[in-house]
Structure 1
């Protein structure tokens, strides 16, 4: 199994920390994490991608240590999209690159694939459907209850509430079947990334920018628009059947994939992963990795 190494790289005006595996001359596989998470979330997938010949890279997203804090405080999805495109450039990616995103990383993936389709051959997203499909389900009563944290994050109490117990609770609720000892490892990685108050503010800032367009930076306007665009590169979308963050009951009601599939480019696929919650790629790595590698090999 390929070794995972650490490194840093400059992209989009920020120094990014990253984990990587695989041959440096292999096609780039860029893996983008979400909240509350870290690049370590891809520890099962990186060696598998490396074994398939990819140069698999998982950056720590902006504001998540050891990646730098942006001086302009930009945490909108357009900035995340610009980061993904800049990272493709920084790692010398070609048109045979693939991009894989979970949670907030999924938003960045949709945007990067739509804004710069010539950079990517295939696309994979997990746990967060395209923006239009998400908004059609967000206001269901059961989903609003699950999304309490988003509203908490709009208040001055957010930073005070954010601690290990809070993060542990989210992981427990969102992936109820995930074994406690393994969950503690992931939560530990999160707390390492968000140990400083300014990093906590960055993670919360993603949600504040989501609800408050006045926090958007104009130079990312085109990338921001791309996040909601349908794009043209085929997407494999995977959703955990037991997701406690964004429920399968509202995303794939009764197993119906049509609402999500209708918002994806032609040739895309939507699959539910049984026995998995929100962090499906660490809960059921064998199943999820096999689906991803099969998709990339097609």
Structure 2
């Protein structure tokens, strides 16, 4: 999964990594939304299995993650990215057989796209983050989940603007170490830092 294509939605360029079979519309489309801090490259391990199973895959860099654009109006909320997933579906000739896959923040994004246009999607797969109501309940009733989700609250604080970029994004290294102990994330982190380094 190394070819790239760029689409545009309302003046925002969205860079997409696509599988070799992306133009074969006989195959159902799979749209994969990455989480934070991550990039479209996270899907490089899943794509060959999906291709072997008869799908074609597109994984966009979410708006605000280089090389996709940062919108001039600063709109990078979940809803805007959900609409981007619908635009990806349209651009790549998806039909009602299409599948949405989202990890972490990407899970919330694909839930939004599915609710907005349910007729476009045969299946929706959310990884690591349940739909909104379940996530809210977990944060209120499960101290372990609250501890695991601390970063979501941290990023709402202005201090994050100073802490995250310090030391060549050492904060991002720390998060990956915490979430994936023992995993050599060097290839992933290089891409993640490139996507986040230039605000």
The answer as to whether partners of 1:20 and 1:58 remain within 8 angstroms in 2 is yes
Within the alignment, does 1:50 sit opposite 2:51 as a pair? yes
TM-score in terms of structure 1 length = 0.61
5+ residue gaps in structure 2?
A: none
* Alignment equivalent of 2:5, drawn from 4, 7, 21: 7
**8 Å contact 1:62–1:69 — kept in the other structure?**
yes
Q: For residue 167 of structure 1, what is the aligned residue in structure 2?
A: 172
Number of matched pairs: 192
3-state SS of paired residue (2:119): helix
1:192 corresponds to: 194
* Cα distance in 2 for residues equivalent to 1:52 and 1:12: 34
Structure 1 unaligned runs (5+)?
199-298
Corresponding position of 1:116: 117
Deviation of residue 141 (structure 1)?
A: 3.0
Q: Cα distance, 1:107 vs. partner? A: 0.6
| 2:70 aligned with 1:69 | yes
Q: CA deviation at 1:11?
A: 2.8
In 1, Cα distance between equivalents of 2:50 and 2:7: 20
Shift of 1:99: 0.9
The residue number in structure 1 matching 2:150 is 148
Preserved contact between residue 3 and residue 20 of structure 2 (Cα < 8 Å)? no
Partner SS for 1:154: coil
Q: Are the aligned partners of 1:81 and 1:112 in contact in 2 as well (CA < 8 Å)?
A: yes
The aligned residue for residue 127 of structure 2 is 126
Aligned with residue 17 of structure 1, among 11, 15, 18 = 15
d(CA) in 1 for partners of 2:8 and 2:56?
A: 17
1:32-78 superposed Cα distances (whole Å, 9 cap, x missing partner): 00100000000011122122222200000000000011122112221
Q: CA RMSD in A?
A: 1.6
Structural mapping, 1:93-112, within 5 Å: 93-112=94-113
Q: Measure the CA separation in 1 of the matches of 2:158 and 2:195.
A: 21
Indicate if the aligned counterparts of 1:84 and 1:112 stay in contact, CA closer than 8 A. Answer: yes
Write the distance in 1 (CA, Å) between the matches of 2:133 and 2:95.
29
Q: After superposition, what is the alpha-carbon deviation per residue over 1:100-136, rounded to whole angstroms, capped at 9, x for unaligned?
A: 1001110111111111111111111100001100000
Distance across 1 between alignment mates of 2:124 and 2:143 = 31
**CA distance, structure 2, for counterparts of residue 76 and residue 8 of structure 1:** 20
Who is 1:238 aligned against?
none
